[in-house]
Structure 1
C-alpha cells in the first residue's frame, strides 16, 4: 500500500492507551451447505453511467443492512477492469467502479454473497453497498480489522480476529462527528504540517455525514486516520471527523494495515 494520494484536507488525532483486549472479532455464522442456484444474469450497463471517484458520491445504492456489525470480514476484491456496480443481484446498474481511485488501487470488502453475486462496501458514500457479478475481479484476503469506539475514544486493531493494539484517540465533535458504520482503508496520503507528526494518513472510504458543517476546504474530503502531535487531544471529541492517533500508534497502523482493511465505527 505504497501509492500516495495527494493530500485532501482532513482532521485526525492520537494518544497512548491501555493494553488491547476489549474487542474480539465475531465470526459470521457459516452458511449451511446446499445446491448452488444458477447466478442471476447481469444487465448490460449503459456507457454513460457515472464513475465512482474520490469526490462524488454514488447514488441509488441500498443501505448496508448491518452497519453496526463487528463480524470480521476476511474477503475483499480488486477489479481487473472497470466494473458496473448494481443495486441488487441481477438489478439495475448504477455506477462504474474503476481499478483505481485518484491513483490508489481499489480493494473493497465483500460483506455478503447471494444468487452468485457479491455485495461490497462502496467508497465515497457512507453505509451503502453495491453488488457485483462473480466475474471481472480477483479476490484479496483481508486480515486486519479496526474498531473505533466513539464513546470510549478508543481504537483497537485486530489481526486474524485477535487484538494486537489499542490506543486512546481523538474523534469527531458533536457538530462534525466521525461517521458511524463500516468502512475501509481506501489508501494512504502524505500530510503537511508539524501537527500530523510527519506521518502519512490512512484515508477511509467514509465521507462527512454533514458536509455543510465543515469549512469549505474540508467538505469534499474523506475521513482519515492520522497522527497528531498534540497529546492533549486524545480522549476527546474535537476533530472534524477524522481519528487522531498518537504518533507511535500511527506508525504501527501504517506498517500493518493494507488497502481494503475494514474499519468499524461504533458508539
Structure 2
C-alpha cells in the first residue's frame, strides 16, 4: 500500500471539456480508496442492445448526466418502487453519470455505480441530459492488454497491469464515472485516474473507501504486463493521457479474461 504521506493534500477533479486546473474537490483518501490504485511493489432505437443509441438516428453508446441534486433509481420503467437514490454530484465531486443499457418510452435503463457489479435501474428522460459516444474500451486481463475502439475501428491499444490473484480484476461491463488528476505526476497513480462504475469482489473496503475500481497511469512501467494491483487496471502514462484527452465520462469499459 502506498503511504498517504507521499502525496500533497489535494488531487484534482478534471471537469468535462476542460484541461485547465479546476478547483480541488477530492481528498487524497478518496483517491487512494480507488481499489488497487496502490499495491506492494427513436425512443425504441437501440432499446434491445446494451449501450445502444438513445435517440433515433444516433449511433454509439448512450450517456446520461443527472440534472438535479439527486435522482431516484426505479426498479422498473414507470414503476413506483425506488431501488436507490443517488446524490449529484457523486462522492468525488463529479457530475453523476450513467451508461444507457436500454430505452422504454420516457424511461432509460442505466448501468449503476453500485454493488453488486452489473446492477441496473431505470431513470426518467426528463431528469437527465443525453449524449453519445462511439468510443469503448476493451480490457483483456489474461492477455494484459487494452484496446480502444471508435465504432469498429481500433484507435489505440497497449499493455496493462491487473489485479493480483488474491485481489483479481473482476470481469464485467463498466463505465468511467469521473476523471482525477493525481497531484504528483511522478507518483504511483500516474498522470490521470479514471474511476470505474465497478467494485472489487474480494475487498469490501479499501483505504477507507468502498473498494471502487479504476483505470490509472503508473510511474513504474515495468509493472505492466503483470498482476500487480488490488484490482485496478494500470496503463502507461502516455496511454492514460490519451484517454483523458479523448474519452468522455460515461465511456463503456468491457473487462474480460
CA positional deviation for 1:131: 0.7
Deviates more, 1:189-198 or 1:87-96: 189-198
Q: Which has the larger displacement, 147-156 or 196-205?
A: 196-205
* Counterpart check, 1:96 vs 2:85: yes
Q: Would you say the 8 A contact 1:157–1:164 is kept in 2?
A: yes
String of CA shifts for 1:212-244, please: whole Å, max 9, x gaps: 5x7x51652421111112222111122111111
Distance 2:100 2:46 in 1: 15
The aligned residue for residue 73 of structure 2 is: 85
Mark the runs of 5 or more structure 2 residues left unpaired by the alignment. Answer: 1-15, 39-44, 52-58
Larger strand proportion of the pair: 2
Q: TM-score, normalised by structure 2?
A: 0.73
Q: CA deviation at 1:89?
A: 1.6
**Residue 220 of structure 2 is aligned to residue 230 of structure 1:** yes
1:252 deviation in Å?
A: 0.8
1:209 aligns with 2:201: yes
- Aligned residue pairs: how many? 214
- Which one has more relative contact order, counting CA pairs under 8 Å at least 6 apart? 1
Question: Aligned partners of 1:221, 1:246: CA distance in 2, in Å?
Answer: 22
Indicate how the Cα distance of structure 1 residues 136 and 12 shifts in structure 2: closer, same or farther if over 3 A, else same: same
From 146, 154, 161, give the equivalent of 1:170. Answer: 161
For residues 198 and 149 of structure 1, do their structure 2 counterparts lie closer, same or farther at Cα, with a shift above 3 Å needed?
closer
Please report how far the alpha carbon of residue 74 of structure 1 lies from its aligned counterpart in structure 2 after TM superposition.
Answer: 1.7
Aligned residue number for residue 99 of structure 2: 109
1:114-153 pair list within 5 angstroms: 114=104, 116-125=106-115, 126-153=117-144
- Preserved CA contact (<8 Å) 2:162 2:229: yes
Counterpart contact for 1:184–1:205, Cα < 8 Å? yes
| Distance in 1, Cα, partners of 2:50 & 2:64 | 20
Residue aligned with 1:105, SS = coil
How big is the shift at 1:145?
Answer: 0.6
In the alignment, the residues of structure 2 paired with residue 135 and residue 262 of structure 1 have an alpha-carbon distance, to the nearest angstrom, of: 23
SS at match of 1:249: helix
Contact 2:140 2:146 in 1 (8 A): yes
Segments of 5+ residues of structure 1 without an aligned counterpart are: 14-28, 33-64
* RMSD, aligned α-carbons: 2.8
Structure 1 CA distance for aligned equivalents of residues 154 and 114 of structure 2: 28
How big is each residue's C-alpha offset from its partner over 1:113-150, in whole Å with a ceiling of 9 and x where there is no partner?
23542110111331110111332211111232111111
- TM (normalized to structure 1)? 0.71
